């Protein structure tokens, strides 16, 4: 019988007790049968020897007076008066048959089946017949001078006793098994009750209910285990509560940091665009006016170079202000801002970036969601430009009622993600941590998969309910 690992501990105890009881009962029956069989065989042989000696003593007297009729009747009386005697016969000293108890003819094979030594008191041979085992016991008459008396002892009655005893042992074994099952149910129930109680409480704790406690009903090992388990649960609950409070405080602080960072980006971008940009524009106009009214050609060329340098600086400031906080993101939304950013990205880094958008909702996402998606895609594209050596990049955005999913995939050199997170010297992993933090703050998840010489894929998933 195979005891599956999916069965309960209670059932395993019951099955184990049944197997032990059945095994012990089988061994007991086998040993008892073997012992009784040997004992009965010895008893049968001793009884047969006694009958054969008695038969030999009486037969000797009849042979001496040549009274073969009474000798024949003696054979029949021996069989009739002894239930276990199957046959009796006497052989003369020259091997001739003198008398027998067989009514339907004497089996001639018996004459040579058991030939004793004249010096032996008796000689027993076990014969296998159609009726079962028979012990042929031969006793010499006057040391063989008058012949040999044979008695055949059948084991039929002894087998009947042995079978009856075996049945009784089987009945007792079955009764013992049922009693053992009843007792094992009782004690197994008491033994597994604390275990079931522990399972109940651990299941509740796994689901987050730390109010459940193990009931302590004894002072034995189970009681000590329950007490220590309750203490461990209380300590674990305190640790988790403290950790949860710290995590909430960290998340709240991180949200404030990101909001402050975005506000500062917005303020700096506005100042660069409004104040610094206007100042540089006025300077360009002034330089152009001076260059047009300057009498010397060399001075005019210098003024023109200065004007072009200011123009380039103004372009850089304009690009920097857009990267800090693109106004199009606030005005027209996520898709328009990404389209503009990717167009400028293609021009600046000479990388072919394809943008595919599937938008199945008729409203804009919450502002913090749009900022999060934009910053994560921006960080992913920046990392591709710095490290990936990619030639082609795909940005796929899908938004429906279930949520938003963004995929950024490149054909660059790739990297081993686990090694990057484990390497404390890697400075570029700070950007990856920032992407994970931004995703988690809006209830989303970020997954990065990468293969050496094949490329990297970034998966961003945000539930739409958060919007």
* Predicted local confidence at residue 186, as pLDDT: 81
Identify the residue with better confidence: 181 or 327: 181
- For 332-466, give the CATH class: alpha beta
Whole-number average pLDDT of the chain: 81
Angle at which helix 367-383 crosses helix 334-349, to 10 degrees, equals 10
Confidence of residue 450 (pLDDT cuts 50, 70, 90): very high
- For 400, the enclosing helix (H) or strand (E) is strand 392-400
pLDDT tens figures, 231-264: 888 888 888 888 888 777 766 666 676 666 666 6
- Partnered with residue 135 across adjacent β-strands are 126, 153
Dihedral of CA atoms 266, 270, 273, 279 in degrees, nearest 10, equals: -140
How many residues are recorded in the chain? Answer: 467
Does residue 1 carry a pLDDT above 50?
Answer: no
Question: Rounded to a whole number, what is the distance in angstroms from the first to the last CA of the chain?
Answer: 58
Asked if residue 405 lies in contact with residue 357, where contact means CB atoms within 8 angstroms, the answer is: no
pLDDT on residue 263: 65
The answer to whether 319 and 270 are in contact (CB under 8 A) is no
pLDDT, tens digit (0-9, with 9 covering 90-100), for 3-55: 344 456 677 777 888 888 888 888 888 888 888 878 877 888 888 889 888 98
Who has greater pLDDT, 346 or 226?
346
**What pLDDT score does 225 carry?**
81
Q: Is 437 exposed, middle or buried (0-12, 13-18, 19+ CB in 10 A)?
A: middle
List the structure tokens of 450: 């990468």
Q: Determine what percent of the chain falls in helix, strand and coil, rounding each to the nearest 5.
A: 60, 15, 20
Residue 44 to residue 50: CA distance in whole angstroms:
10
Lowest mean pLDDT among 70-79, 205-214, 301-310: 301-310
Mean pLDDT, residues 395-423: 89
Residues 276, 282: Cα–Cα separation, whole Å:
10
d(CA 217, CA 227): 10
- Tokens representing 57? 């003593």
Q: Determine the pLDDT at residue 229.
A: 83
* Residue 458 banded pLDDT, cuts 50, 70, 90: very high
> Which H or E run includes 307?
helix 297-324
Whether 420 shows a pLDDT value over 70: the answer reads yes
Q: Where are the domains of the chain?
A: 1-102+133-208, 332-466
What integer pLDDT is reported at residue 260 of this predicted model? Answer: 66
Determine the Cα–Cα distance for residues 141 and 287; give it in Å rounded to an integer.
158
Under a CB-based contact definition with an 8 Å cutoff, are residues 201 and 213 in contact? yes
Give mean pLDDT, residues 82-92. 89
């Amino acid at each position: 019988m195979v005891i599956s690992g999916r069965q309960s501990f209670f059932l395993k105890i019951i099955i184990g007790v049944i197997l032990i009881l059945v095994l012990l009962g089988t061994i007991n029956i086998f040993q008892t049968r073997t012992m009784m069989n040997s004992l009965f065989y010895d008893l049968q042989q001793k009884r047969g020897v006694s009958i054969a000696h008695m038969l030999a003593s009486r037969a000797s007297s009849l042979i001496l007076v040549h009274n073969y009729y009474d000798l024949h009747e003696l054979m029949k009386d021996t069989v009739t008066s002894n239930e276990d005697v199957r046959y009796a016969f006497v052989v003369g000293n020259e091997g001739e048959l003198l008398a027998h108890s067989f009514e339907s003819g004497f089996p001639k094979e018996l004459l040579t089946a058991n030939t004793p030594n004249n010096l032996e008191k008796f000689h027993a041979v076990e014969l296998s017949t159609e009726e079962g085992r028979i012990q042929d016991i031969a006793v010499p008459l006057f040391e063989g001078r008058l012949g040999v008396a044979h008695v055949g002892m059948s084991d039929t009655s002894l087998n009947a006793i042995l079978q009856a005893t075996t049945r009784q042992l089987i009945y007792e074994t079955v009764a013992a098994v049922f009693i053992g099952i009843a007792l094992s149910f009782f004690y197994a129930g008491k033994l597994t009750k604390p275990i079931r109680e522990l399972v109940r409480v651990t299941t509740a704790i796994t689901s987050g209910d730390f109010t459940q406690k193990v009931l302590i009903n004894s002072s034995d090992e189970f009681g000590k285990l329950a007490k220590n388990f309750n203490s461990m649960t209380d300590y674990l609950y305190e640790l988790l509560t403290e950790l949860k409070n710290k995590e909430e405080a960290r998340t709240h602080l991180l949200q404030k940091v990101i909001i402050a960072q975005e506000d500062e980006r917005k303020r700096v971008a506005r100042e660069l665009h409004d104040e610094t940009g206007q100042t540089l524009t006025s300077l360009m106009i002034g330089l152009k006016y001076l260059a047009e009214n300057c009498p010397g050609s060399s001075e005019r060329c210098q003024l023109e170079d200065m004007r072009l340098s200011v123009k380039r600086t103004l372009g850089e400031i304009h690009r920097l202000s857009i990267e800090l906080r693109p106004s199009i993101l606030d005005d027209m939304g996520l898709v328009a801002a990404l389209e503009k950013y990717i167009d400028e990205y293609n021009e600046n880094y000479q990388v072919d970036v394809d943008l595919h958008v599937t938008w199945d909702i008729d409203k804009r996402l919450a502002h913090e969601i749009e900022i999060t998606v934009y910053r994560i895609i921006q960080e992913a594209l920046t990392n591709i430009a710095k490290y990936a050596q990619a030639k082609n990049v795909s940005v796929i955005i899908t938004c429906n009622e279930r949520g938003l999913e963004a995929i950024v995939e490149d054909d660059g050199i790739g990297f081993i993600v686990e090694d990057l997170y484990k390497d404390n010297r890697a400075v570029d992993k700070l950007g990856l941590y920032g992407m994970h933090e931004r995703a988690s703050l809006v209830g989303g998840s970020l997954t990065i998969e990468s293969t050496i010489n094949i490329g990297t894929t970034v998966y961003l998933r945000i539930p739409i309910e958060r919007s």
